[in-house]
Amino acid sequence: MGYQLPRKTADTLFCRLREHYEIFAPKLFAGDGCFSDTDVIRYDKVSSLDEIEFDRRSDYSFKEALFAVNETLFYFTENETTIPSCTDKKLLIFLKSCDLHALKRLDAIYLENGPEDFYYKRLREKACFVLMDCGETCDTGFCAGMGTNRSDNYDLYLKCGEETVWIDCPSEELLSDLKEAGLNEAGETACAVTPNYVTQNKETVTLPKNLSVESFDNPLWEAYGSRCIGCGRCNFVCPTCTCFTMQDIHYRDNENVGERRRVWASCQVDGYTDIAGGGSFRQKQSDRLRFKVMHKIYDFEKRFGYPMCVGCGRCDAVCPEYISYANLVNQLAEEDAK
Amino acid sequence: MMKNEYIPFPSQVKKIIRHTDIEYTFRMEFTGEVKPGQFFEVSIPRYGEAPISVSGIGPDTIDLTIRKVGKVTNQIFENFEGNHLLIRGPYGNGFDIENYKNKELFIIAGGTGLSPVKGIVDYFSSHPGEAADTTLIAGFKSPDDILFKQDFEQWEKNIRVIKTVDSAPDGYQGQTGMVTKYIPDLPVKNPDNAVFIIVGPPAMMKFTVIEVQKRGIPEQNIWISYERKMCCGLGKCGHCKMDSTYICLDGPVFNYKEGKNLID
């Protein structure tokens, strides 16, 4: 059961909701794209529904709302460390179905793999997720084949029309906050609201079923990897990539005071495996590509029971060398079937 | 309040043992359970953190043998006078002494690879009756690179020790050559009851395992420890992952049967 409400009412509601929530959503940054005269859609704090890009897939995923590109772990002075405070507000994060599936993967790494991550958990506990549906498939996504095209574990589903907004709110906590912000008093109509989802994509991907240690020697890695320039963009746009590197900085005016941060890291970029004394592993880009792809479709599944990749297709869209992860995986599957 | 694993705690430097110009052992205050082969993240705010193996375990101390080869370790050497280092850990699985009791134990270490196994050498050197026989082969680049000189004097009294250097100036009295040179002549009585622990640089480990297998030692009797980049030690940062295995959580110590299948 859901509600249909006039757009204006919904706008007011979300405006009021900001009293208790920080709202993160994909936003269009006109002219901010990588190349001249291109736009970029990425996550940012928003203050109204108008700012949200509902239709197109964001170039960067929602993950930065839960772990920032660079995040301060603690501030240090000579003998003391201080943990940065966390927002008092709850988080409301707008995302598409593929990203909501990615959340499960982030949880696996940050909450289940070893001890729980303090910084991730304290934000995660405050976060509510708002599902936005996909009217039509994006260009490079292949969610239908990955089973990530549908989600029912949202806290709120919201569909935004020009004049009307439809919502379904299974989360009692969020519903009560919405009521406090004015829902029910605003003349909305109760009606059945169910999310739309795409059932077919332009891109179809079949996962290979019989990957093994032998797959590490497949010549396909070289065929695709030889074009890779190791920029790491595929990792940074991926909603399931979670790697980071520690980084200490100190303030220019006083070297004894500074902070330890963690910053997003890429397994495709030089230095990722460097150990003290000069050792490193996977020097070739093809080995790094193999490492990444096998993580997404093979070894994460060995550890957690489901593939890591959610089929959002962002990596293919962002690659400056036009390396198609989708084609590579399909080719692996074809060989696998032989 | 949930535990924040990223915050290091100060630990007092009890003693510094200088092995070479670039390798010191820092004896640090620490009470708590810790096993040989586990590691700590040692940090100097401003410069970062480095994973360092435990090279000795005392009643209320741990030894951290640190080689001055990186940004963080250089600073640790500069700042050791401060009496405290910030550490967090221990992390990783470590070696389980029980696996080696009553066996013919052979420990083969290359360079600083001796640090993670030193706790085991110490144990069987001071409890020689608990293993059927104990042998240590330790290889170093040159006589100047030899670590734990005082410990070697002690070990040589209790267990069989081969201390070799890759190359030495003319007139050097000790043994020379790679560790692999000494494997064919090791006195293995019963390959099924012999266990080998092999730790060192990747190439050394690879060729040592080959030589050891030539002696008819079954895979499951070989133990190795992997050195990888470990930024967090908590299974999060991803740098140490090999296939589906996080070296910081599931390792760094592996039975060779499992460890041989791990691909970077």
Phi and psi at residue A247, in whole multiples of 5°?
A: -145, 125
B263 pLDDT tier (thresholds 50, 70, 90): confident
A81 contacts in chain B (CB < 8 Å): 7-8, 45
Four-residue CA torsion sign, B183, B187, B193, B194: negative
Say yes or no: B110 and B80 in one domain: no
Note whether A275 contacts B229, CB cutoff 8 Å: yes
Q: What pLDDT score was predicted for residue A184?
A: 75
Say yes or no: A312 and A223 in one domain: yes
Closest CA to B62 of B82, B48, B41: B41
pLDDT at B80 over 70: no
Decide if B114 contacts B36 (C-beta within 8 A): no
Q: Is the residue at A79 inside a domain?
A: no
Say yes or no: A182 and A229 in one domain: no
CA distance B42 to B48: 8
Say yes or no: A120 and A155 in one domain: yes
Q: In this complex, which of B46, B227, B244 lies closest to A303 when CB atoms are compared?
A: B244
Contact status of A126 with chain B (Cβ, < 8 Å): no
Q: How many domains does chain A have?
A: 2
Q: Name the residue of chain A whose CA is nearest to B74's CA.
A: A276
A218 contacts in chain B (CB < 8 Å): none
Per-position DSSP letters for B174-187, written without gaps between them: SEES-GGGGSTT--
CA distance B124 to B138: 16
A291 contacts in chain B (CB < 8 Å): 264
Q: Name the residue of chain B whose CA is nearest to A275's CA.
A: B229
Q: In this complex, which of A248, A274, A300 lies closest to B47 when CB atoms are compared?
A: A248
Mean pLDDT confidence for B190-218 = 95
Say yes or no: A183 and A275 in one domain: no
Say yes or no: B201 and B121 in one domain: yes
Decide if A59 contacts A272 (C-beta within 8 A): no
B8 contacts in chain A (CB < 8 Å): 81
Note whether A276 contacts B70, CB cutoff 8 Å: yes
Tokens of A7: 């757009």
Say yes or no: B191 and B84 in one domain: no
CA distance A303 to B253: 18
Note whether A294 contacts B237, CB cutoff 8 Å: no
Four-residue CA torsion sign, B115, B120, B126, B131: negative
* Residue-range definition of the domain harbouring residue B22: 9-91
Q: What pLDDT score was predicted for residue B79?
A: 65
Say yes or no: B49 and B122 in one domain: no
- B30: CATH: 2.40.30.10
Note whether A273 contacts B48, CB cutoff 8 Å: no
Q: What pLDDT score was predicted for residue B70?
A: 72
Q: What pLDDT score was predicted for residue A192?
A: 85
Write out residues in chain A with pLDDT < 50, as ranges. Answer: none
Note whether B263 contacts A115, CB cutoff 8 Å: no
pLDDT at B1 over 70: no
Q: Is the residue at A290 inside a domain?
A: yes
Say yes or no: A302 and A160 in one domain: no
Q: How far is the alpha carbon of A282 from chain B, nearest alpha carbon, in Å?
A: 7
Identity of the residue numbered B83: N
Say yes or no: B113 and B172 in one domain: yes
Per-position DSSP letters for A221-244, written without gaps between them: HHHHHTT-----HHHHH-SS---E
Q: How far is the alpha carbon of B34 from chain A, nearest alpha carbon, in Å?
A: 17
Q: Name the residue of chain A whose CA is nearest to B69's CA.
A: A277
CA distance B202 to B189: 28
* Residue-range definition of the domain harbouring residue A34: 2-66+86-191
DSSP label at residue B171: T
Q: Is the residue at A206 inside a domain?
A: no
B4 contacts in chain A (CB < 8 Å): 83, 118
pLDDT at B127 over 90: yes
Q: How many domains does chain B have?
A: 2
Say yes or no: A102 and A167 in one domain: yes
Say yes or no: A54 and A154 in one domain: yes
Contact status of A254 with chain B (Cβ, < 8 Å): no
Q: In this complex, which of A113, A122, A273 lies closest to B229 when CB atoms are compared?
A: A273
The pTM of the full predicted model, rounded to 2 decimals, is 0.93
Say yes or no: B127 and B193 in one domain: yes
Identity of the residue numbered A287: D
Say yes or no: B78 and B177 in one domain: no
Note whether B237 contacts A245, CB cutoff 8 Å: yes
Question: How many other C-beta atoms lie within 10 A of the C-beta of residue A181?
Answer: 19
Q: Is the residue at A218 inside a domain?
A: yes
Say yes or no: B120 and B213 in one domain: yes
B6 contacts in chain A (CB < 8 Å): 73-74, 118-119, 260
Say yes or no: B115 and B190 in one domain: yes
Read off the pLDDT of residues B94-114 as tens digits, 9 standing for 90 and up. 999 999 999 999 999 999 899
B241 contacts in chain A (CB < 8 Å): 295
CA distance A110 to A226: 32
Query: For B254, how many CA atoms within 13 A lie in the half-sphere containing its CB?
Result: 21
Q: In this complex, which of A74, A245, A281 lies closest to B231 when CB atoms are compared?
A: A245
Q: In this complex, which of A74, A243, A302 lies closest to B239 when CB atoms are compared?
A: A243
Tokens of A274: 């460097």
B49 contacts in chain A (CB < 8 Å): 246
Note whether B237 contacts A278, CB cutoff 8 Å: no
Say yes or no: B137 and B114 in one domain: yes
Q: Is the residue at B242 inside a domain?
A: no
Say yes or no: A6 and A128 in one domain: yes
Could you give the residue ranges of the DSSP H alpha helices within chain A? 7-17, 97-107, 118-124, 143-146, 172-180, 220-225, 233-237, 285-294, 300-304, 314-318, 325-337
Read off the pLDDT of residues B144-184 as tens digits, 9 standing for 90 and up. 999 999 999 999 999 999 999 999 898 999 999 999 999 99
Say yes or no: B153 and B59 in one domain: no
Last residue of a domain, one of B57, B91, B125: B91
A278 contacts in chain B (CB < 8 Å): 69
Note whether A113 contacts B237, CB cutoff 8 Å: no
Q: What pLDDT score was predicted for residue A151?
A: 94
A302 contacts in chain B (CB < 8 Å): 243-244
- B153: CATH: 3.40.50.80
Q: Is the residue at B249 inside a domain?
A: no
A272 contacts in chain B (CB < 8 Å): 229, 239
Read off the pLDDT of residues A3-37 as tens digits, 9 standing for 90 and up. 898 999 899 999 999 999 999 999 999 999 888 99
Say yes or no: A93 and A147 in one domain: yes
pLDDT at B81 over 90: no
Query: For A315, how many CA atoms within 13 A lie in the half-sphere containing its CB?
Result: 28
Note whether B243 contacts A213, CB cutoff 8 Å: yes
Say yes or no: A171 and A233 in one domain: no
pLDDT at B187 over 70: yes
Q: What pLDDT score was predicted for residue A130?
A: 97
Last residue of a domain, one of B48, B71, B91: B91
In angstroms, the Cα distances linking A82 to A127, A129, A206, A311, B40 are 24, 30, 48, 39, 21
Q: Is the residue at A297 inside a domain?
A: yes
Identity of the residue numbered B185: D
Q: What pLDDT score was predicted for residue B55?
A: 94
Tokens of A15: 């405006």
Q: Name the residue of chain B whose CA is nearest to A83's CA.
A: B7
Say yes or no: A99 and A28 in one domain: yes
pLDDT at B39 over 80: yes
Interface test with B, best of A78, A117, A306 (most B CBs within 10 A): A117
Note whether B236 contacts A242, CB cutoff 8 Å: yes
Say yes or no: B113 and B202 in one domain: yes
Last residue of a domain, one of B59, B91, B123: B91
Q: Name the residue of chain B whose CA is nearest to A284's CA.
A: B264
Quote the strand ranges of B141-232, DSSP E. Answer: 160-165, 175-176, 194-199, 222-225
Q: In this complex, which of B2, B5, B46 lies closest to A248 when CB atoms are compared?
A: B46
Note whether A302 contacts B227, CB cutoff 8 Å: no
Decide if B36 contacts B117 (C-beta within 8 A): yes
Closest CA to B225 of B196, B191, B190, B199: B199
Query: For A332, how many CA atoms within 13 A lie in the half-sphere containing its CB?
Result: 30
Q: What pLDDT score was predicted for residue A88?
A: 94
CA distance B38 to A202: 50
Query: For A95, how many CA atoms within 13 A lie in the half-sphere containing its CB?
Result: 32
Q: Is the residue at A199 inside a domain?
A: no
Say yes or no: A21 and A156 in one domain: yes
